[in-house]
Chain A
């Protein structure tokens, strides 16, 4: 129960701080830009397809619009998730409010989960604000809604992974800026692993966080990808749990 209370407070506080609104506005601006660019491109490709039967067989809304859109906006999360996670523990320690949670009859796991789901809840709100894209497509086209659902799930898992990692960094410093920079740096490092040679099956590519989101963006639900994200999130939540426990011994 306390997990819900903590998550709720965390979510509400994002709506009362500049950071929250800045992230939401920035996200909607950037995704809006991406969407417009990609939808125009897709419209052009569709027109080409009218005169070319070969193209017509190729052009598919999921592959030519949904997947590239979510793939491109993924980079946005790399910047915005650290902005959401940086405050989770850093500000509590700086303002000495963590004492309230540590002396309340709640377990460390409840605190960590509450904070994680609070931040993830904000991501869900951000995603919900883009719901008009599939709705618009339904008005003028015939999108694969299953693919959209998979892409949203992929985004949520990707954001969850970045938030969990960012929360750990946030628990190691009282400075939100330090937590932000560390999270972006770590996220970027995990990202560029996918560029390291060896193809999609190489170890580096398998470690890279974005590789596992790529198929979900294309509407392909694979157990290995889901398992990767769940393990990724789990490891960082556990590490954060251990870190918060250690506050009692410092």
Chain B
């Protein structure tokens, strides 16, 4: 049985359709990334899953519990970080996490708060008032709040916003650890490299619909682009690139830059050819970004 099962979920705000017949499922221990432009319905879907928003139609189940029928039971299994971390700024980090532990039904709220502080790296600021913390620390308090009651499922809306690269890496490691310990994670982001680095699977949402869902490799792997810059561009060179087995298109972009598209990894063959024309630079490009732009209509 899948940990999360969403069937035909629909959410209508007046005449606007925010979520349109969404269906997907997530297995235990899986990390799934929600990808989509702003306003695509990612946050709405997450809020319905976490019980702070009612759906117009369809249903969402967490570990077999319908979030509409038994909200209390479902919420106990979910830890949720909203887009804006819900922090009581007048409390200290420790007080706040103890409170969260209590209302979320942690077995021993005090111990749970300490574990969460330790896990997310808040020990040096645990005694400080949240309102005085930097944005990065506040974001971490938000994450600590989501996992204080050791939930089976973590739903993180933009967990990396406001964090610097080092903090991002820490959070990534933390999420990986949690997933290894059988926690199921759903996260949303518009940072593509983050999804590639972290997620087992990507769900691309656009205008309330799922436009694609698959593993990162499968989504980005069918079509690849090799970007190559040579010292001496020529029409013959382009023809030689085209002759390579597997190449589907070659585009000359001037100044010696060529974009070579193909269905497999072409870097090795392209390099062999390009060396003769004075190879300056060569990079293989994953296609996730292109897939994303194509599906969400952002390419035009």
A residues whose Cβ falls under 8 Å from a Cβ of B: 1-2, 5-6, 9, 12-13, 16-17, 95-107, 247-249
Does B90 contact A100, Cβ atoms closer than 8 Å?
Answer: no
**Is B24 close to A, CB under 8 A?**
no
Given contacts A248-B52, A248-B54, contact A9 B90 (CB under 8 A): no
Assess the B86–A105 pair: CB atoms within 8 A: no
On B, residues with C-beta under 8 Å from A are: 47, 50-54, 71-73, 75-76, 78, 80, 82, 84, 86-91, 95, 99-100, 102-105, 145
Report whether B86 and A13 are in contact in the complex, using a CB–CB cutoff of 8 Å: no
In the complex, residue of chain A having the shortest beta-carbon distance to the beta carbon of B56: A249
Kindly list chain B residues whose C-beta atoms are within 8 Å of the C-beta of A99: 47, 52, 80, 82, 84, 86
Rounded to whole angstroms, the CA-CA distance of A17 and B90 in the bound complex is: 8
A104 touches B103 (CB 8 A): yes
Does B87 contact A5, Cβ atoms closer than 8 Å? no
Contact of B76 among A102, A105, A249 (CB under 8 A): A105
By the criterion CB–CB under 8 Å, are B53 and A248 in contact? Answer: yes
Across the two chains, which residue of chain A brings its CB closest to B53? Answer: A248
- Chain B contacts of A100 at CB under 8 A? 86, 100, 103, 145
The answer, among B73, B82, B102, for a CB contact under 8 Å with A5, is B102
Q: Tell me the nearest residue of chain B to A101, going by C-beta.
A: B103
Sample 7 A-B pairs with CB under 8 A, ordered by A number: A2-B103, A13-B91, A95-B86, A99-B80, A99-B84, A105-B73, A248-B53
> How far is the CB of B175 from the nearest CB of chain A, in Å?
19
Q: Is the CB of B84 within 8 A of A96?
A: yes
- Contact, CB under 8 Å: A105 / B99: no
The residues of A that contact B54 with a CB separation of less than 8 Å are 248-249
Q: Kindly provide the distance from the CB of A109 to the nearest chain B CB, expressed in whole angstroms.
A: 12
Q: Which of B50, B75, B80, B86 contacts A97 (CB 8 A)?
A: B86
Nearest CB of A to B91, in Å: 7
Known: A96-B86, A98-B86, A103-B80. A2 touches B102 (CB 8 A): yes
Task: State in angstroms the CA–CA spacing of A11 and B53 once bound together.
Answer: 28
A-B pairs, top 5 by smallest CB distance, nearest first, are A100-B86, A5-B102, A102-B52, A105-B75, A97-B86
Minimum Cβ distance to chain A for residue B56 (Å): 9
B103→A6 contact, CB < 8 A: yes
